[in-house]
Structure 1
């Protein structure tokens, strides 16, 4: 009778790892450090097979995700290697033992050397970007519950590919030549028709500029309408990326509180009656999701007319309204409203498309075309032509209807799961519009700490306080659901519950 081959047992034992549950350091980080120390010290020699993530999690009484996080970090740094169907092993060549490539000597500047000269705008942008990374960078790697992303799985890739191929076959010569910096005219015509019927926007194709998303739109507005030091109303809490663009332009930001009726126009006038520009998200305020009331809409337009100021209306996700029809745009409420209106396809189709639109008053068209010409001249011509076909052949409207149904179902699932798994820790309810929900924390709980614990568990849940300027109040976590598969919504809620408990 043939002898059975003895299996090689994993050498890693849980008793060799010491974790401190009372430590402020996340458990996945403690496990990573303990494993790395054992490997570098030789207690886990090269070639040692480790326990599976499930087995180690059971022995240490940890979640499997905590162990997986530590293993993943060690794999990415080269301390571990994975062998398909066999397991995870200590690498034979450790990073510390790998000879460093020879490099030319680098001259170290003296302490008295001055920093490289950059402009005030460059310094402002660098500071704003550093703050953005520090605030949100820790929570954007995970899919659950990532903000601002549509469902990539539901993108009509095959249809888009066919339209793309057809356009290239028919008009590649036109695509390869320079286009109008204002944008592809048939696309502007299609957009003018769509905005008139779906959003009540008053414009012709000659008032539309095709831009590379809403960020370029606000950048062009700042270049054309603002001088350094000009006061600008911004929502508080509000969209901090747009605020960074305005800061870089030298604007003086006036943080205006937002309540259940949206931007408080009366408070804004008291704070800065002579502001040059007001930036608003009236249909679905980011991040609170409230709608600017009709009374305040009229008050805002009257202030702009009276003060010779302008309103920048960011209509970033108005297609996703789950109760009734989408609200009419602020731009179309009155004739000759002093409003610049922008929308983007990043939230409806995919962020990688990098296409949006800016509707400007007729008297500003030539100036904005000049600004676009000196910016980057044009958006991608081929994508503009494909998007034109996607809209005019009815695919866009059908896609929006499908996504509206899908996102409503995901929102309902998120509310159900949070109420079951996080009762007493997060208060959540459905919203009429948008792609994320606010999960309100108990009074006194710090939302930044909660976001850090969620990030340690692999969950993206930015804190509401990260979007606040001068205002304060109850803490909350922002939970995006549009991009998250339904199975991951349930799993993400369970992991978030473990992190917060």
Structure 2
């Protein structure tokens, strides 16, 4: 370990008595080994202080071990086909400290930490050590109950506690769907453009994705109904389509429900940020309109509360509850109990609703400001497409600059841009960018747009 650099110069070594006890050998054995290391110059022994790695830069070639074979950096040849698909797709990466305009990132600076801490202490005081044990793989009953009540009241769902499955994220829910409902080679209809996390979850499972175009009213149903190839499911973000922000029209929702019932296929509804609707009233979720139990409803608290909570959920048809619950035990067993119980109290006490209402107003103001800033400083380059809700705004590139060149230049300036073309599968793509606004103060948004204006103008001159 000294030769390999794992134990650096000056590093203290364990006391001989403690090391002998740990290894189950005589202390004389340890003393003999330390004496040899000292004699060879590897360590220094200081009376009253102990043994330390010697301050020497090179211990000489006679002590070097046979040079190890360098590890192969490209391990893809040893992966399974599914492993190669997961690795090659690049995963879904969230920035730990997001630069300005990262999409899908909520504000966390306004979250009531003191209240959350107090509720967490109540959980530990009342439940005690039982909160430290393994939890129900389906999720704690208290949280499943309040989630069912919430989605029924706020989203018009048809949910009961026994049909709710608590997960760590909506991404885990999509991965479960991909692995439980599909075999490799099966097909799924997806929106085009589509959320990259969903596309990669289905791609990694070996599922063929059939893209269907999206317009101002959401996914275009006629091409899907006329498609001759069969598919096991359709993936939707009907509340705020990602990334366009379009809301799926009611007649299209009803048509998809009847199509799914007739074809015995599934509707996977990702309702990732429906809490934040700024214009008009939000439409009832597809799951609540579906009397045939063909819809899997996915929700998350990553956007409405904070990403570090790691709690999402799915409202399942009764026939899928046991298969999905058993399948999730193979992934991670169960969701942590203490955050679940704390969240249940947060919702039961009315704090969740109050927080969402406050943040909805803040986000609406930030969206309005971002729209104004883009039109003021970037009118020559971008056309904002103002969504009715969500945490990000798409902007269409109206000049002849290259989308990837802008992204690279913006990154060098400390700005995170997501290109719209990367979210498309079909041709005739309108290039542009997805600007997240929720996590940033008015001052940060203004500074970010001014930086972006400098980037665009420098590229234009170049």
Same topology, TM > 0.5: yes
How far apart, in 2, do the equivalents of 1:324 and 1:163 lie?
A: 34
* Counterpart position of 1:106: 68
> Do residues 331 (structure 1) and 287 (structure 2) align?
yes
* Counterpart position of 2:346: 390
* Counterpart position of 1:182: 138
The unaligned stretches of length 5 or more in structure 1 are: 1-98
Assess if the C-alpha contact under 8 Å between 1:453 and 1:499 holds in 2. yes
Cα deviation for residue 375 of structure 1 reads 2.1
* Counterpart position of 1:126: 87
* Counterpart position of 1:322: 278
Cα deviation for residue 101 of structure 1 reads 12
Any residues of structure 2 matched to 1:438-457 within 5 Å, and which? Answer: 438-457=394-413
Q: In structure 2, which of residues 188, 210, 213 is the aligned counterpart of residue 232 of structure 1?
A: 188
> Do residues 172 (structure 1) and 128 (structure 2) align?
yes
The unaligned stretches of length 5 or more in structure 2 are: 1-56, 458-462
Q: In structure 2, which of residues 101, 107, 110 is the aligned counterpart of residue 154 of structure 1?
A: 110
Q: In structure 1, which of residues 171, 194, 198 is the aligned counterpart of residue 154 of structure 2?
A: 198
Assess if the C-alpha contact under 8 Å between 1:236 and 1:255 holds in 2. yes
> Do residues 400 (structure 1) and 362 (structure 2) align?
no
Q: In structure 2, which of residues 353, 356, 370 is the aligned counterpart of residue 414 of structure 1?
A: 370
> Do residues 380 (structure 1) and 336 (structure 2) align?
yes
Report the secondary structure of 2:292's partner residue. Answer: coil
How far apart, in 1, do the equivalents of 2:401 and 2:179 lie?
A: 41
How far apart, in 1, do the equivalents of 2:397 and 2:89 lie?
A: 27
Cα deviation for residue 419 of structure 1 reads 1.3
Report the secondary structure of 2:269's partner residue. Answer: strand
Taking only aligned residues, the RMSD between alpha carbons, in angstroms, comes to: 2.3
Once the two structures are superposed, residues 406-458 of structure 1 have per-residue CA deviations (whole angstroms, 9 ceiling, x without a partner) of 00111111111111111211112532111111122115433222222211211
Cα deviation for residue 180 of structure 1 reads 1.1
How far apart, in 1, do the equivalents of 2:438 and 2:427 lie?
A: 28
Q: How many positions carry a matched residue from both structures?
A: 397
Once the two structures are superposed, residues 246-295 of structure 1 have per-residue CA deviations (whole angstroms, 9 ceiling, x without a partner) of 11111111111111121122212334541001111001000010011112
Moved more, 271-280 or 147-156: 271-280
How far apart, in 2, do the equivalents of 1:101 and 1:321 lie?
A: 67
Question: Would the alpha carbon gap of residues 381 and 109 (structure 1) be closer, same or farther in structure 2, given more than 3 Å must change?
Answer: closer
Once the two structures are superposed, residues 207-251 of structure 1 have per-residue CA deviations (whole angstroms, 9 ceiling, x without a partner) of 000001101101111122111111011111111111111111111
Any residues of structure 2 matched to 1:28-107 within 5 Å, and which? Answer: 105-107=67-69
Report the secondary structure of 2:383's partner residue. Answer: coil
How far apart, in 2, do the equivalents of 1:188 and 1:416 lie?
A: 41
Question: Would the alpha carbon gap of residues 356 and 115 (structure 1) be closer, same or farther in structure 2, given more than 3 Å must change?
Answer: closer
Cα deviation for residue 325 of structure 1 reads 2.5
Question: Would the alpha carbon gap of residues 273 and 143 (structure 1) be closer, same or farther in structure 2, given more than 3 Å must change?
Answer: same
* Counterpart position of 2:99: 143
Question: Would the alpha carbon gap of residues 323 and 250 (structure 1) be closer, same or farther in structure 2, given more than 3 Å must change?
Answer: same
Assess if the C-alpha contact under 8 Å between 1:443 and 1:474 holds in 2. no
